[in-house]
Structure 1
Amino acid sequence: MTPRHLMTALIVVLLWGMNFVVIKIGLKGIPPLLMGGLRFSLVAIPSIFFIPRPTVPWKLLVTYALTISLGQFAFLFSAMSLGMPAGLASLVLQSQAFFTVGLSAMVFGDRLRTSNLIGMLIASLGLALLGSISIHQTGSHVTLIGFLLTLCAAASWATGNVINKKIGPTAVLSLVSWSALVPILPFFALSFYFEGEDAIAFSLRHMTLPSALSLAYLAFAATLIGYTLWGKLLSALPTHTVAPLTLLVPVVGLTTAWVILGEALTFLQVIGAMVVMGGLLVNVFGLKLWNAMMNIKAHP
């Protein structure tokens, strides 16, 4: 990995890690489902007029968009509006890695390694510990529904990853821009049904500067710029080199939530978070660590 690759990766991690604090700020002035519709409207328009449509069957494109865009962010935005802190959301959402591994095994017959299973078990225990502590802690703002909806967002993201694997290699910016068309109407329809016409009209008429800047960040920085740079990294470097970098996203998310929003974790929450991160590390690096240990034993 060259210094340029490292700088690109750092930019992506920062953009995606700060994403959760930005969402929390935006939700103060915009209902979650309306924010989803506005976000993807800004992503799709005007970019689709300048970027060619990806050579992907419409069925796969629509399915991809309904899972990784509509499903993931409808659940995530709703979870955060119902009490899921930004920092914890950034961590719990990374459970998508395990959903992705499990779904890939079922759909494509991918072989699960022992390190995957051990990592899943460790992270599951960490999530259970973190969720139990956070929800039952006195004075905590974490709600059970917020925690569960974040897990649903992770499962939706993982499903989108599996669809993306079916799609195969394609232009990332093109896929992101054109797939953003699909969730716009469903988001607005869901917003109209669940949030109501009055709430939509009030939010649009009284749009604050922080809310407007949050939408711009989510659409342009986190989505268009973030995914484009990520796609360039994936095309330039082996996947096993790039993928582990996402483990830094919750580190940035937890840190920025603490600095900007004052979301300090208790000691027990930190323990739970460390267990989850430990499971993620075992899932990604477990086989390499095992092979390294075996090599050391074989060549003392």
Structure 2
Amino acid sequence: MKPADIFLATLVAVIWGLAFVASRLALDELPPTLMTTLRFAIAALPCLFVRKPDVSWPLLIAISATLFLGQFLAQAFGIAHGVPVGLASVIVQSQALFTVAFAVVAFGEAPTRLQVTGIAVAACGLVMISGTVGYDFSVGAFAVLMISPVVFAVGNLLLRRARTVPMFDLFAWLCLVAALPLSVLTLIADGPRTVWHSLIGMSPTGIVSILSIGAISTSIAYWLWGRLLRDHTAAQVVPFALLVPFVGAAASSIVFGERFGPLRLAGMVTVVCGIAIMLLSPRARAVPNLA
């Protein structure tokens, strides 16, 4: 990779890590459904200028429902209900574990020995983290947050079927498809009065947070990531995502004074190590067809 591309990959990871902090700040003022709706509404504004990519509506809806709507709505609910930001950033990145596992079923990609080892290590880390649930956040909040990496992984696999289209156009339309049902859900779940009072009562911090989440971390960062994946192999690009939980945890520690107990910290480090083993191992091979 060229130095400029290395810089962009690192920049995207930093943006995504800081987005967890921005989400926490926005959720201090907005309900999870409204915050997620605004996130995608802002990121969908380029749809006014770009045409729908050459992707079927069923595929577009499926990718949007998993990669965007499901992932970020679960994140918002988990963080809003007490899951620490730094921990949330680690749990979301465990999507690599589920992506490899689901690829075995969907595409017959047999994981390498190193990938199996990485899955086992990451799974042990998640078990360690689950042992700390119930002290400063509920089991329910943790369960909802775990939906995020699972649907994230499904979205990753679906996205493979649309990589030949312009990434910026695709992500803009994915955001639009997510924003429409979320708008209806927000009005039903929160009510028009709550939505109105939340919007007019936003502080400058809340406004800057939601704008940065929508315009920078969702629209621009995903576009840059898509371009990097288009121009380079996944093995070259994806490992930079390992920086996300470190940036998220460090930023949360500075902004919110977040601290981790020994077991939770050990679990977080174990998960990241497991992900590193999976991402840095040789690419999975297809299972031979013996039929």
Q: TM-score, normalised by structure 2?
A: 0.93
Relative to structure 1, is the Cα distance of residues 286 and 3 closer, same or farther in structure 2, using a 3 angstrom cutoff? Answer: closer
Q: Tell me which residue corresponds to 1:14.
A: 14
Q: Which ranges in structure 1 are unaligned for 5 or more consecutive residues?
A: 289-300
Are the aligned partners of 2:85 and 2:249 in contact in 1 as well (CA < 8 Å)?
yes
Instruction: Please say which of residues 262-271 and 248-257 is displaced more in the overlay.
Output: 262-271
SS in 2 for 1:22: helix
State the distance in 1 between where 2:8 and 2:89 align.
20
Q: Tell me which residue corresponds to 1:295.
A: none
SS in 2 for 1:183: helix
Instruction: Please say which of residues 25-34 and 98-107 is displaced more in the overlay.
Output: 98-107
Q: Tell me which residue corresponds to 2:138.
A: 143
- Deviation of 1:211 (Å): 1.4
State the distance in 2 between where 1:263 and 1:253 align.
11
Q: Are 2:221 and 1:222 equivalent residues in the alignment?
A: no
State the distance in 2 between where 1:74 and 1:285 align.
29
Q: Tell me which residue corresponds to 2:260.
A: 265
The superposition leaves residues 157-214 of structure 1 with CA deviations (integer Å, 9 ceiling, x where unpaired) of 1111111012232211111101111122221222223223332122022122111111
Are the aligned partners of 1:75 and 1:149 in contact in 2 as well (CA < 8 Å)?
yes
Question: Which letter maps to 2:245?
Answer: P
Q: Tell me which residue corresponds to 2:75.
A: 76
Q: Tell me which residue corresponds to 1:194.
A: 189
State the distance in 1 between where 2:249 and 2:161 align.
33
- Deviation of 1:14 (Å): 0.9
Q: Tell me which residue corresponds to 1:59.
A: 58
Q: Tell me which residue corresponds to 1:85.
A: 84
Larger Rg: 1
State the distance in 2 between where 1:203 and 1:136 align.
29
Are the aligned partners of 1:95 and 1:151 in contact in 2 as well (CA < 8 Å)?
no
The superposition leaves residues 238-283 of structure 1 with CA deviations (integer Å, 9 ceiling, x where unpaired) of 2211111101110101100001111111222221111111211221
Question: Which letter maps to 2:75?
Answer: L
Question: Which letter maps to 1:174?
Answer: D
**Residue among 150, 155, 160 paired with 2:150:** 155
SS in 1 for 2:202: coil
State the distance in 2 between where 1:287 and 1:229 align.
24
State the distance in 2 between where 1:161 and 1:181 align.
18
State the distance in 2 between where 1:13 and 1:287 align.
22
Q: Are 2:106 and 1:107 equivalent residues in the alignment?
A: yes
Are the aligned partners of 2:70 and 2:151 in contact in 1 as well (CA < 8 Å)?
yes
Post-superposition, which runs of at least 4 consecutive aligned residues in structure 1 deviate over 3 A?
Answer: none
Structure 1 residues 209-248: aligned runs within 5 Å: 209-248=204-243
Q: How many pairs are equivalent? A: 283
State the distance in 1 between where 2:179 and 2:189 align.
15
State the distance in 1 between where 2:34 and 2:200 align.
13
Structure 1 residues 18-33: aligned runs within 5 Å: 18-33=18-33
State the distance in 2 between where 1:105 and 1:39 align.
33
Q: Tell me which residue corresponds to 2:288.
A: none
- Deviation of 1:97 (Å): 0.7
Q: Tell me which residue corresponds to 2:123.
A: 124
The superposition leaves residues 45-103 of structure 1 with CA deviations (integer Å, 9 ceiling, x where unpaired) of 2x112223211111101111111111111111011111111110000001111111111
State the distance in 2 between where 1:214 and 1:124 align.
33
State the distance in 2 between where 1:108 and 1:237 align.
21
Q: What is the RMSD computed on CA atoms of the aligned residues?
A: 1.5
SS in 2 for 1:180: helix
Q: Tell me which residue corresponds to 2:34.
A: 34
Q: Tell me which residue corresponds to 2:43.
A: 43
**Residue among 274, 280, 290 paired with 2:275:** 280
- Deviation of 1:237 (Å): 2.1
Are the aligned partners of 2:235 and 2:280 in contact in 1 as well (CA < 8 Å)?
no
